[in-house]
A = this chain, B = another copy of it.
Amino acid sequence: MNTFRVLEIKKSVYEGNDARAAALRAELKRRGLFLLNLMSSPGAGKTTTLLRTIDALGAELRMGVLEADLDSDVDARAIAPRGVKVIQLHSGGMCHLDADMTRQGLEGLGTEGLDLVVLENIGNLICTADFDTGASRNAMILSVPEGDDKPLKYPHMFSVVDAVLVNKIDAMDFFDFDLEKFTKRVRELNPRARIMPISAKTGEGIAAWAEWLRAEVRGWKEA
């Protein structure tokens, strides 16, 4: 018994993604609906972080979730028991969502009465960074086992985000991850992004992340 739908989204036939993304963002702003675009490599911990985020903010914000994947519904299955509105999007093999595909997802989900929708984007550090989804804010997760050199290899991703979550910090001693070096590398690409170490597994750092997100959602509704 699933409490979510699976939506096969269509490849956008429209040119001009930037303009369509700007239009979607303006519409979300008018409606006071905050859309967070959450990106990462496969297995960096997007879903577990999202579960922690729902636990931290679900009582005060009405949340919805768009789970995008090439295939499967494992992520929507993981989210559904939390009682938030969730829909699984299948991208038909594509490695990113654009603004039109995001709009299809929001319409499929139904956003009436929601404060915050999180788009869990498809797992990769390349294509997803190339397409503005129309989100209010962009965040990414880099997990400790991936290594502190990733800003050098995927500079575009690190330059387009408003927040960088460094996940699996409980494994920091196990892997050779230098947070100071990593932070310096991110700073060179993106001086304004907020960098937040977390462990979605233990809950460490989640309060600071939730506080950042809460403030962004409030600012979006008020300003």
Seen from chain A, the residues whose Cβ lies within 8 Å of a Cβ on chain B are 41-44, 69-72, 74-75, 93, 95, 122-127, 130, 143, 145-147, 149-150, 152-156, 168, 171, 174-175
Contact between chains at A126 and B71 (CB < 8 Å): no
Q: Which 8 A-B pairs have the closest CB atoms?
A: A43-B146, A145-B145, A95-B126, A72-B152, A124-B124, A43-B147, A41-B42, A41-B41
How many copies of the polypeptide does the oligomer hold? Answer: 2
Contact of A42 among B70, B71, B153 (CB under 8 A): B153
Closest to A171 in B: B174
B95 touches A153 (CB 8 A): no
**Are A156 and B93 neighbours in the complex by a CB distance under 8 Å?**
yes
Nearest B residue (CB) for A78: B149
User: Whole-angstrom distance between the alpha carbons of A132 and B125 in the complex?
Assistant: 21
Whether A70 and B174, one on each chain, are in contact in the complex, defined by CB atoms closer than 8 angstroms, is: no
State which of B123, B143, B153 has its C-beta within 8 Å of the C-beta of A125.
B123
Chain B min CB distance to A168 (Å): 7
Q: A125-B124, A130-B93, A171-B174 are in contact. Are A71 and B41 (CB under 8 A)?
A: no
Given contacts A41-B43, A42-B146, A145-B43, contact A156 B124 (CB under 8 A): no
Q: Are B74 and A153 in contact (CB under 8 A)?
A: yes
User: Within 8 Å CB of A155, what residues of B?
Assistant: 70-72
